[in-house]
Amino acid sequence: MLAIAAAITLAVGCSQSEPPPFRLNMVEMVSQETSDDYQQEIADVLGALFGTPDEPVALEETGLDANMLARSAGPAWSDEKGVQRGLYRKHCVHCHGISGDGRGPTGRFLNPYPRDYRQGVFKFKGTYTANRPTTDDLHAILNNGIPGTAMPAFSLLPNSSVESLVEYVKYLSMRGQLETALISYVYDELGEDDDGGRIPLDPAADPEQREIVLELLAEIVEDWEAAEQRTIAPDESQIPSDDRTPEEIVASVAKGQQLYHGKEANCYTCHGPTALGDGQQNEWDEWQKVQQKFLEETNRLAKSIQERASQDDQDESSEARLEEDKQTLAKRQEVVDTFYPIRHAIPRNLRQAFYRGGQRRLDIFWRISAGIAGTPMPGSGPASPGATANLSDEEIWNLVDYVMSLPYEPPSRSQEAIVPNKDEIF
Amino acid sequence: MNRFWGFLFFLVPVGGVATFAAAPYFNIWLPRDISEHGHAIDHLFFFILWLTGVVFIVTELVLFYFMWKYDAKANKKPAKFTHGSHSLEVVWTIVPAVTLLFIAIYQMDAWASAKMRPPLIPGTEEMISPTVEVTGRQFNWDFRYPGPDNELYTQDDIFRTDGKLYLPVGEKVLLRITSADVLHSFFLPNMRIKQDVVPGMEQSMWFKAKEKGGYDIVCAELCGWGHYKMKGRVFFLSRAEFDEKLEAMRLEQNTMRVAALDEED
């Protein structure tokens, strides 16, 4: 028996599975009608500039640290000294996916869905709305997790591991952003040459294309680097003092309540008149909106095909277009079939006493001042340093006081149930 | 050849004893006990281990003896069948029943002290106020300290979600434990204490640590695909250090300024 088992094992072998490849952003590719040839060429360009999941490339232009990337990339294993490697695959890939698209195997069972890094948009950060997060912002998310979601805290990992993961997230994000930029570039600029042939995307062979691609990359990298200086520092003169009297705090809360129900901040329209998050609930966040639009467009196309197909009098060119559209519809349907159920962005219930993006007063200040990037939550502070704002810093601190007092108002406190054996329950 | 199988059965108690004897040398034994109450749990563990161990070895040896002695090749006498022995049946029902009853009563005090006798404010019937509220969620442990007013669910509560729990050493501490979504179990191996947390149910856990240091918090009730990595770390500090730490956490929660940016490198 043992001999048979040994023989089978030897025959089958002990080979490892193929290293996983990055996945293409099919929503962007299909909605911008990128042909299969261009898809392959874009994948090749990304491969040359960013490498593979097992062997990442950190181009000097990106400013990324190759050693940190190497620790996060590749299969999960630990070396003789016990240093853990392949951190991304050990801790993150099952939700966030090999390409950082938020579509790992466990992603579909979560509410909210895991973050898709490829747009470079992150919700919980301390920078102005349109800016990228800083390294510290991402580090804070990894350290504290996001309560209310499935994102756990990783503070028990060594600090170097967390730093390495932050670097890898930025790497995946830059890669995803460049992919979208290349898709648009191919759609806008390339196409047919004078002889009717296809202009291939080949920066290695074409110096002009090379320059443009590197420029696209430089723009993306610059955004990330600029963000490090874009943390919103509340105006010192408007920060409430640490030793306010109870009357001052009460006054601030009352002011905040006025602002909450007022027209400049308009909080109640989404968060509801009682701050339970039951105002409007019909909007989508950025990541869902892209899918929703793609789905609506696909449904429109399907309807139009149906209408045209039922018509009897079709000339040749209409027939040809109908066939083309049917093929496009098939491709779009393939992409739609991969979507998770599309969900609305539900405004937060403010009576819960804990907050997703951080529990500090400063974190709440940032949420109100810069809004939450990628979501319908708008910023009421300046959109960039020195810009005019809906609310002054002082007013935002009033709102912070109001919001943080909401969970402790009498209406927020649940009535204690009076059960007969209350004294016996521990 | 047939006695070979009997011999294999003999190896079972031998292997069993060898495994238990060797385990401590491979560090596969009980975690270090730093709690006041843990010795009672460990004592019960060893008592039951010895009791069942001895019974097990005796039973296996008797089984081996019969397999060896009455092996078909060596023993040609025909088997004698009996209609059973009533007194034997009575004996081997009563003895285990009494043993189990004994164990049930023997452990009552350990159970009661961990689950039924919460630390009370001296002279009253009220529980001492909780030191922290622990909330298990998929897949993280979140902590809520009562803050300077020493009362949970007031505005000065301190929230920590980084999986690091701080508690004072040498004092009886009461924890409120609950779940945000599904069943979890808050397990402190070095304190010999665990309790399943049920969403919506208000539960408490109490213990007293005797040594400072950092120890594991693990989840002991299957809660989903992340159950295996739902870890935390509990740090026992002296009362003064604990108060300092709480104050530092309170100040951090009240942060209104951006930390000084690092020097340009």
Is B147 in the same domain as B200?
Answer: yes
Sign of CA dihedral A91, A97, A99, A100: negative
Q: What is the pLDDT of residue B262?
A: 43
Label residue B91 exposed, middle or buried (CB < 10 Å: 0-12, 13-18, 19+).
exposed
Contact flag B138-A144 (C-beta cutoff 8 Å) = no
A47 contacts: CB under 8 Å, gap ≥ 6: A22
Q: Tokens for A260, please give them.
A: 């909450």
Contact flag B142-A232 (C-beta cutoff 8 Å) = no
Flag whether B262 is in a domain: no
B positions 63-122 inside 8 Å of A (CB): 115-116, 118
Min Cα–Cα distance to chain B from A340, Å = 19
Is B54 in the same domain as B162?
Answer: no
Is B188 in the same domain as B102?
Answer: no
Is B99 in the same domain as B147?
Answer: no
Question: Is the pLDDT score of A425 beyond 90?
Answer: no
Q: How many CB pairs under 8 A join A and B?
A: 89
Question: Is the pLDDT score of A417 beyond 80?
Answer: no
B positions 186-205 inside 8 Å of A (CB): 202-204
Q: Is B257 on the interface with A (CB under 8 A)?
A: yes
Burial A359-376 (b: 16+ CB within 10 A, else e): bbbbbbbbbbbbbbbbbb
Q: What is the pLDDT of residue A327?
A: 93
Question: Is the pLDDT score of A206 beyond 80?
Answer: yes
Q: Is B2 on the interface with A (CB under 8 A)?
A: no
Flag whether B32 is in a domain: yes
Contact flag B256-A365 (C-beta cutoff 8 Å) = yes
Query: pLDDT tens digit string along A222-243?
Result: 999 999 999 999 999 999 998 9
Q: What is the pLDDT of residue B263?
A: 40
Q: How confident is the model at residue A12 (pLDDT cuts 50, 70, 90)?
A: confident
Q: What is the pLDDT of residue A193?
A: 67
Nearest to A147 among B153, B161, B252 (CB): B161
Q: What is the pLDDT of residue A174?
A: 97
Question: Is the Cβ–Cβ distance between A37 and A200 less than 8 Å?
Answer: yes
Q: What is the pLDDT of residue B261?
A: 46
Instruction: List residues bridging with A78 in a β-sheet.
Output: A84
- Within its chain, how far is the Cα of A378 from the centroid? 17
Is B34 in the same domain as B67?
Answer: yes
Q: Is B138 on the interface with A (CB under 8 A)?
A: yes
CA distance B203 to B181: 15
Q: Is B225 on the interface with A (CB under 8 A)?
A: yes
Is B178 in the same domain as B244?
Answer: yes
Q: Which of B125, B157, B161, B207 to mutate to test the interface with A (most CBs of A within 10 A)?
A: B161
Q: How confident is the model at residue A413 (pLDDT cuts 50, 70, 90)?
A: confident
CATH 1.10.760.10 boundaries in chain A:
236-283+346-412
CA distance B204 to B145: 14
Is B169 in the same domain as B69?
Answer: no
Mean pLDDT over A321-336 rounds to: 94
Q: Is B124 on the interface with A (CB under 8 A)?
A: no
Contact flag A408-B154 (C-beta cutoff 8 Å) = yes
If interface means Cβ-Cβ distance under 8 Å, which residues of chain A face chain B? 94, 106, 126, 143-145, 147, 150, 152-153, 155-156, 231-234, 236, 239-240, 242, 353-354, 359-362, 365, 397, 404-405, 407-408, 413, 423, 425-426
Residue whose token pair is 């449904």: A299
Residues of A in Cβ contact (< 8 Å) with B255: 360-362
Query: pLDDT tens digit string along A65-109?
Result: 999 999 999 999 998 898 999 999 999 999 999 999 999 999 999
Min Cα–Cα distance to chain A from B11, Å = 20
- Residues with pLDDT less than 70, chain B: 1, 260-265
Mean pLDDT over A180-204 rounds to: 85
Min Cα–Cα distance to chain A from B77, Å = 34
Nearest to B163 among A156, A236, A242 (CB): A156
Flag whether B92 is in a domain: yes
Is B155 in the same domain as B111?
Answer: no
Helix, strand, coil tally for chain B in percent (to 5): 40, 25, 35
Flag whether B123 is in a domain: no
Question: Is the Cβ–Cβ distance between B209 and B236 less than 8 Å?
Answer: yes
Query: pLDDT tens digit string along A102-133?
Result: 999 999 999 999 999 999 999 999 999 999 99
Q: Which of B125, B135, B139, B162 to mutate to test the interface with A (most CBs of A within 10 A)?
A: B162
Q: How confident is the model at residue A5 (pLDDT cuts 50, 70, 90)?
A: confident
Question: Is the pLDDT score of A39 beyond 70?
Answer: yes
In chain A, the percentage of residues whose pLDDT exceeds 70 is: 96
Flag whether B70 is in a domain: yes
Superfamily covering domain A236-283+346-412 = Cytochrome c-like domain (1.10.760.10)
Q: What is the pLDDT of residue A412?
A: 84
Is B105 in the same domain as B18?
Answer: yes
Q: What is the pLDDT of residue A79?
A: 87
Residues of A in Cβ contact (< 8 Å) with B252: 360
Structural domain including B237 reads: 132-253
Min Cα–Cα distance to chain B from A234, Å = 7
Question: Is the pLDDT score of A192 beyond 70?
Answer: no
Contact flag A233-B159 (C-beta cutoff 8 Å) = no
Contact flag A361-B256 (C-beta cutoff 8 Å) = yes
Q: What is the pLDDT of residue B60?
A: 93
Nearest to B142 among A147, A242, A408 (CB): A147
Length of chain B equals 265
By CA distance, what is A150's nearest residue in B? B138
Contact flag B138-A150 (C-beta cutoff 8 Å) = yes
Is B137 in the same domain as B110?
Answer: no
Q: Which of A275, A270, A407 is nearest to A345 (CA)?
A: A270
Is B155 in the same domain as B63?
Answer: no
Mean pLDDT, rounded, of chain A = 92
Query: pLDDT tens digit string along A285-301?
Result: 999 999 999 999 999 99
Give the number of domains in chain B: 2
Q: Is B187 helix (H, G, I), strand (E, B) or coil?
A: strand
Residues of B in Cβ contact (< 8 Å) with A106: 225
Is B231 in the same domain as B165?
Answer: yes
Question: Is the Cβ–Cβ distance between A289 and A365 less than 8 Å?
Answer: no
Nearest to A354 among B116, B159, B257 (CB): B159
Residues of A in Cβ contact (< 8 Å) with B139: 150, 152
Residues of B in Cβ contact (< 8 Å) with A225: none
Q: How far apart are the first and last CA of chain A?
A: 57
Contact flag A143-B162 (C-beta cutoff 8 Å) = yes
Flag whether B11 is in a domain: yes
Q: At what angle do helices B2-22 and B38-69 cross, to 10 degrees?
A: 160
